[in-house]
Amino acid sequence: MRPYFAIMNPLGRELKDVQKIHLTDNYESLRKVESELAQEKEKAKNIGLSTEKMNARGELTVWQRIEYLVDEGCFYPLHMLYNPADNQSCTTNVVDGLARIAGRWAVLIGFDNRYMAGAWVPGQPENILRVTDLANRLNIPLIWLVNCSGVKLDEQEKFYAGRRGSGTTFFRHAELEQLGIPILAGIYGTNPAGGGYQGISPTILFAHKNCNIAVGGAGIVSGMRPKGYFDIQSAEELIDVARKFKASPPGSTRIHYDETGFFRFVFEEETDVLNALREYMTKIPAYAPDFFQVAEPQSPLFPLDDLYYLLPSNPKRTYSFDDILARLVDGSEHMEYKPESGPEVYTGLVKVNGFLVGCIGNRQGILPENYPEYADYPGIGGKLYRQGLIKMNEFVCLCGRDRLPIIWFQDTTGIDVGDTAEKAELLGLGQSLIYSIQQTDVPMMLITLRKGSAAAHYIMGGPTANRHNAFTLGTAATEIYVMYGETAAVAAYTRRLIKEKDAGRPLDPIIEKMNELVRQYHETSRPVFCAKAGLVDEIVPMEELRSYMLAFAGAAYQNPRSICPQHQMLLPRSINALKTQTEESVWQENISYSVPTGSKWEDQN
């Protein structure tokens, strides 16, 4: 199969200096938004006690532990701004992301021990569910840095119980282990109650000498005999008992290493715990990258910085999706599937760090004349039509058959509407794409370049495909909504306008409500809102998009649950069957390989 992959078709065009000058405002606009996002992330990152104060106590912060544990430059954070409960701390009090540790990929998560000693807080269970889902989808280890003081008691009603409450984590841990996915935990500090189960539920426990895990902590144990009220006597008794348990909290290493044996190892230094985690990462099942790589890794031909010129911050401006993709994939090469069909959608194979990946994205601008073929109106890029939906269905099914991960790129205004579109079966074809995605069972990631809108946001690999979508990234240009704010205002208030007009009443109050709805849609679709609400898993600077793609591809191919041998793949052959004899001849002239006697390649020569 080397002739298919070694040299693919060129993709994209060079960006000229004169074009960059013309697009300087766009460059600066996107950089400005990214700077604002970076400030928000830095604010969330520095909530709680300072690094200096933590270190003076003899503790490393969660960020210091991550920096020590992870291979240099190989931590790709997710959910930095995720804060669905709108906590004053600005976070869910955990730090997580994809990480390469000792050369192997894992999902890494740790409690932020600077804020309330790593307490459970509102919104945190949803964050942890995303993390356990990610480990499941990619079939890679989950690494915990446990330092959890238990429930934030004055807000326990918001997250303790329920189907997706804090205790769900422990069932998800058991589920991962039943699937053969190991969970390694480095344990620090005091971990009572929920923190205790957080410590006991992983597969192997690596303990720091000063840590403990217990069903109940000092505060709980000392309050086990309540009268139904408090008085001076009970307060004095509480003080005495609490002091005793603080001096010797339950569940120390003396109990859980020497007696129960729950702790596999105990270490003197915090960094020794991390060293042990690194060592155990080398023991997990993992294929060497070249087992699956179809070619030597290459950088794109064009600089990543070009993306700031090429992706318009104005959502109404068009651009070339092919030029965007050319800045993100190996060698700026691709194999496009059915370019003659469904021109509003790109489908094709690309290489990411030498790994073969399926790619799907929205094309922009005015589409060819007489398209869509079923309508008497022109087609516009970003919208989905019959041919594009059929093409995506076919491509997704072939990727599933060939066990290829998929990277989706969204910039969509939705699916074509109206009776003509209904007669063309677009409603059914949209659901067909959902069915196709659901039956593929391959890892997928989504990059919402700009617009994620209407049902198209669901069907194009959106986060709602949560058994398959590993994670979703956004950019400084991302906006996600069910429809444009103006469209929503028309849908919500047109009948009211008619009613007020017929009654002879002034229209100004309704117009103001319409404008207010437009403003609301704008505010609740911006990148920061999307990140806080969890509509995306992370807003990533343009120049870091490829790094996340490399991490996704490396993790997806590290230990896949199923394999299609390269020489048994159909999708590359399906694409190549559409090529002309001339194109195949050019391939042969540019590739050096041995030709088996009697092969089709020898015959063509």
Catalytic residues: 151, 194, 415, 455
How many CB atoms neighbour CB 303 within 10 A? 12
Retrieve residue 155's tokens. Answer: 């807000």
Distance (Å, whole) CA 395 – CA 180:
30
Q: State the greatest distance between any 2 C-alpha atoms of the chain, in Å, as a whole number.
A: 98
φ and ψ of 79, to 5 deg:
65, 30
**Exposed/middle/buried for residue 487 (C-beta within 10 Å: 0-12, 13-18, 19+):** middle
Retrieve residue 604's tokens. Answer: 């063509």
Retrieve residue 340's tokens. Answer: 């003659």
Distance (Å, whole) CA 605 – CA 603:
5
By the 8 A CB rule, do 92 and 119 touch?
no
What are the residues facing 98 on neighbouring strands? 76, 107
Note if the bond before 372 is cis, omega within 30 degrees.
yes
φ and ψ of 363, to 5 deg:
-95, 155
φ and ψ of 227, to 5 deg:
-95, -10
What are the residues facing 384 on neighbouring strands? 415
Residue type, 353: N
φ and ψ of 538, to 5 deg:
-165, 140
Q: Tell the residue number behind the tokens 């690194």, with chain if given.
A: 278
Q: In this structure, what is the dihedral angle of CA atoms 340, 342, 344, 350, given to the nearest 10 degrees?
A: -70
Q: Among 452, 519, 447, which residue's Cα sits nearest to residue 481?
A: 452
Left (φ > 0), alpha (ψ -120 to 50) or beta: where does 403 sit? Answer: left
Distance (Å, whole) CA 463 – CA 486:
25
Q: Kind of pairing, strands 104-111 and 94-101?
A: antiparallel
Residue type, 111: F
What are the residues facing 448 on neighbouring strands? 410, 474
Q: Which residues contact 459 (CB under 8 A, 6 or more apart)?
A: 415, 430, 431, 433, 434, 437
